Every structure is written in C-alpha cells, then in structure tokens.
Amino acid sequence: MKKEMKIGLLGLGVVATGVVERLAAQQKQIEEETGVKLTIAKALVLDPVEKAAFANTHGFELTTKLEDITENAEIDIVIELIGRISPAKEYILTALKNGKHVVTANKDLIAQHGQEIIEVAKAQNVGFYYEASVGGGIPLLRPLATSYAADSITSVKGIVNGTTNYMLTKMMEDQLDYQTALEQAQNLGFAESDPTNDVDGIDAAYKMIILGAFAFGAELKVTDLAIQGIRNVQAADVKVAQSLGYEVKLIGEVKQVGEGVTASVSPVLVAKNHPLAMIKNEYNGVFIESQGIGQSLLYGPGAGALPTATSVLADLVEIADRTQGKQDFAPFNRKVANAPLVNRENVKENYFISVSLVTSAIETEEFVKGLVEQGYRVVYKAIDTKNNRLSLIVNHLTPTDYQTLLTKLATQGMIQGQLGVMGDFNEN
C-alpha cells in the first residue's frame, strides 16, 4: 500500500494554480482520510521563468518536456489542465499507457473522444476521472455514477453554461439586449473574446453528452443533439416571457423517450416557479428526474479556479482510496447499457415564436384562426399593434410540424424569436 503518491501537472493556468492551492490547504485532511500523502512533483509549462516563483513557493519543479512527467517512474498521477483536444488527447494517452492515473477537466475531449480514452485506461487498470468536466465545482458525475446506480433516470436537464446564464439573467433583470449583455459578460471575464462555443450552445452540448453517458449510458455525438444558441434571443421576447411568468434559460436536456433517448440544447421558457428558473448569473444547476428519487436539483458554481480545483481533488481522493484498498480501477461511469438515440420525429415539443409583421392585425387574426383550424395547438396568442409583432405559443409539435409552421409564419413577416417552452402553457 503506497503511502505517498506524486502528481505531475500538465499546464499551470488558472485552474491548475487553484489545484495547487487547494491541495496545499487540504493535504493533511486528505492524508488523514485516505492514508495517502498527495504531493505535486512537477508541472509542464511553456515558460518556466513566468511560473518559477509560484513553483518555488509550493515546492515543485517545472519542465518543458512531457516525458519528464509521463515517463517519470516516481509520478503516479497526471492532471491534465491545458484544455482543447490536441495535444491534450495525445498527452493523456501517453500518460495512461505509461501506467499513470489521469484526472482532467477537459469536457471537449471527454465528449468527443472519451470512450477511446476510457478503453485505454481500462486496459492499463489505471484510473481516469473527470468530475470537473461538467459543472465546475458541483458534484455531478460521481452522484450520477453512485447515488443513482439503483435508480432509473428519466430526464437530465440543466443550465450548464455560466456565460449564457449570466447574459440571459441580465437580459431578464436589467432589460439588456443581447449585444450589451455579451459585452458586459466579456468585461467581467465570464465570456471569452470569441464566445462562439458558449453562445451557440456547443459548450453546453459537450456537457450534455457527458451527462447523457452517466444518466443513460448513451454514446452521443454533437451531431446527435438539436442545438440552438442564444444569439437570436430578442429583448422583446424576453419581455413577453416575463409577462407570462417565465424566465428564459439555455437548457440542455437528455431525456428518455420510449426505449431510447433524445438530446437537445436550446433557449427555453422556464416557469418562474421551476427550480431551474431560480438559477441566476454564472451559476449552474442540473435537474434530475428519476423513478425512485423523483426530482432533485444539483446547484452551484459552474466554473472558477477554486470550485473546479475542488472537483479535481475529489478525483485525486478517489484514486488514493482505491490504491490503498487495492481495488481495480473500473471506468468512472458505471452505465454500460447503450441507450439508443430515438428518431426526433417521434418527439413533440412546445414552442414560443414571434414574428415582426407586415400584415394588418385583422389579417393576422384570420391567419392564426386558420392555424387552429388546421390542427395547430395555439395556446397563446398576442398581437402587439404598436410594434407590429405577433407572439405565439404552440404545443406538441414534431420537428417537421415546427418547420412547416415556421414556413407558414414567414408569409406574415420576419420571424424573430424561436424558443422552446418547458411544460404545457396554461394561461390560468
């Protein structure tokens, strides 16, 4: 039984710095609880001079050579925190093949190449953990892997991108338009200079792929998800949503439909009394529905150096525990059933749509009446004659029905807002 395990860091940015600081603060407690002393031995960096003072303070060496970590017999655990797909994937695979346990927060990599890496870790009987890849400091993956092991999850939906949640919160509470909210988020460091992955829903999609694997054993690809970002969320639509008792949130969801699952990311109207509506600013939350537990919400900071670092430390504790107990390093995710992707044409959803009208109010009234006669379930209609704007909520549409409806509405003017609606709208 090993009493000390040495760690090699790949990268020494904001999160990695947080890992060093949190481990220094928690080292004694972890050793008391696991019987293993965890120490950082080396860190791979681009510029050793820049990080020298920090490394000296915390007593570890810096290197610019990967092999100083991955081929170092004294190093037991490698923590990858450089991000992106390449060279992170190559670095992780090299570490695993050299018998090192690996911890990462790299959601992009896990979502796109996770299964390949998991198979290598399994073959080497080493640990590969990535709690910090979803939800920052919120314990999400481990509870899904353990607490729900005896339950059957039916839906996982949530706010998993802090940038867009901050922006939408400001659009709701401060009546900001999209561009102003984005600039404010960038000024505060919540959004990158290139916010594409966040505002177009890609970041959230990666995280839902990982959550789908833990909740359902689903092997999803980005192309399997219906993805819509928040670029086209209009201030006028936010105002209507508020008047109807809704918040606007970017919601990722993987849910069971029959014997399979469907997955999506899109801006959605969420009733103000729903737990997800109460999650503001840069915070994240995941709402889980299951047959046994029922409904539960996991909530907390979705990013940040110290919260994310704390999740990394939780993975280190898992490795230390298993090493002391001489346990095999089974895959982090216990779900082995591959829940198939269902045909989205079998999935009906509810939608909010707004149109900048070129027709008169009377003509629009007749048009909407015609939609109802054609079988569309129009449950809310408002014609703003001052701004020539039509707002509709239409329930129970398949993707084909929805596209057909959009084509019809385009004859009345320019379509402005396209948002989902969580649950059935009830005017009363």
**Chain centre to alpha carbon of residue 34:** 30
Per-residue model confidence as pLDDT tens digits over 367-389: 999 999 999 999 999 999 999 99
Q: What pairs with residue 82 in β-bridges?
A: none
| % pLDDT > 90, the chain | 90
What is the amino acid identity at position 277?
A: A
CATH for the 348-421 domain, from 3.40.50.970, 3.10.20.30, 3.30.2130.10, 3.65.10.10: 3.30.2130.10
CATH superfamily of 4-136+305-324: NAD(P)-binding Rossmann-like Domain (3.40.50.720)
Residues in the chain: 428
What is the reported pLDDT for 2?
Answer: 66
- Binning the chain into helix, strand and coil, the percentages to the nearest 5 are 40, 25, 30
- What angle do helix axes 235-243 and 162-173 make, rounded to 10 degrees? 70
Q: How far apart are CA 198 and CA 171, in angstroms?
A: 16
Q: Is the pLDDT score of 428 beyond 60?
A: no
Per-residue model confidence as pLDDT tens digits over 132-142: 999 998 999 99
Please provide the average confidence, as pLDDT, over all residues in the chain.
95
Question: Beta strand pairing status for 75-80 and 413-421?
Answer: unpaired
Domain boundaries along the sequence of the chain? 4-136+305-324, 141-300, 348-421
Q: CATH for 141-300?
A: 3.30.360.10
Per-residue model confidence as pLDDT tens digits over 17-76: 999 999 999 999 999 999 999 999 999 999 999 999 999 999 999 999 999 999 999 999
Per-residue model confidence as pLDDT tens digits over 180-204: 999 999 998 888 999 999 999 999 9
Burial of residue 389 (number of CB atoms within 10 Å: 0-12, 13-18, 19+): buried
What is the amino acid identity at position 343?
A: N
Burial of residue 287 (number of CB atoms within 10 Å: 0-12, 13-18, 19+): buried
Q: How far apart are CA 192 and CA 349, in angstroms?
A: 32
Burial of residue 31 (number of CB atoms within 10 Å: 0-12, 13-18, 19+): middle
Active site (catalytic) residues: 207
Q: Is the pLDDT score of 1 beyond 60?
A: no
Per-residue model confidence as pLDDT tens digits over 261-296: 999 999 999 999 999 999 999 999 999 999 999 999
- Backbone angles phi and psi of 166, in degrees to 5: -60, -50
